[in-house]
Amino acid sequence: MDLYLYVKLLRPYQWIKNLLLFAPLFFSGEITFEAVIHVLYGILCFCIASSLGYIVNDWIDHINDSNHPHKKDRPIAAGSISIKKAFILWLILFFLLLFMLIAILPPVLFLIYIFLYLILSILYSIYFRNIIILDLFIISFGFVLRVLAGGSITGIEVSRWLFMSVFFLSMIISIAKRKSELLVLKEDALYHRKNLMKYRQDDLSKMLWIMAGISLVVYTIYCIDKKNDLIYSVIPATYGVLRFCVLAEQGKTLDPIGLFFRDVQLIIVTIIFLVFLSIKIYFS
């Protein structure tokens, strides 16, 4: 039971975000066994780094989380794991990450990206999350850092189109989460996060749809630039983005990552999108 609680504290289901390290290699069309091993190593490092950030976040937020309809069951907020034990786990993971980075020395750029990610995630929990708009940018930059790290560890240059596509898509996810928090928590939002009440539903809706439009335009330009019929992937991409935005307007994106495993339409359109890209990049 204790082991389950410690694993829960690490939020392993959130590690799926770290698959973004595969993006540069996947879109390059030059997948090799050696490159995959490098990316898997990078993903493992980022899984540890992201869990370090989650522990800090849960520790700082444990009082506010206890008033949240979903986050109240987190180990520290529920009192299942003490702050002292959580700190010990944090130290173990931190030194494990250092050992991995020293034992298999990755490129300097990768080291810069992973430590920048770790620093930003901690600073976000401590300060940046209290500043509206900036909090969205910091979260989105965390996604972008994963892509840049994936490129650096494989020696693949991240295209400007991939960079911008990931940034705007992550902005959609960040805005959608804020919107759902306001819809679900309502007047209790103030007790959960100080800056939530500084956002207005109408403003978040406008930002959400603007980011959706920009992300699709950027991705469309990227597909045209590739000149290998990737343009047709814009169709499932558009459906997926619009579907996600509609769910956000309904307040169903409190856990955006979990939503991708619960919503049948998102699952189907994501599979279609990835299968189509794989065929066009590697078999045409």
Q: Which two three-digit tokens encode residue 66? A: 């206890």
Residues 54 and 129 in one domain: yes
- The residue among 167, 172, 162, 189 whose CA lies nearest residue 256 is 172
Residues 98 and 163 in one domain: no
Residues 227 and 176 in one domain: yes
Digitized pLDDT (tens) for each residue of the chain, 284 residues in all: 578 888 888 999 889 999 999 999 998 888 899 999 999 999 999 999 999 999 998 888 777 766 666 677 778 877 788 888 889 999 999 999 999 999 988 999 999 999 999 999 999 988 888 888 999 999 999 999 999 999 999 999 998 888 999 999 999 999 999 888 888 776 655 556 667 777 888 999 999 999 999 999 999 988 888 766 788 999 999 999 999 999 999 989 888 888 888 899 999 999 999 999 998 888 87
What residues have CB less than 8 Å from 156, skipping those under 6 apart? 24, 25, 28, 30, 150
Domain that holds residue 146: 1-158
Residues 92 and 191 in one domain: no
Residues 101 and 195 in one domain: no
CB atoms within 10 A of CB 119: 11
Residues 89 and 139 in one domain: yes
Residues 91 and 63 in one domain: yes
pTM across the whole model: 0.90
Residues 144 and 271 in one domain: no
Residues 140 and 196 in one domain: no
Residues 163 and 249 in one domain: yes
d(CA 221, CA 7): 41
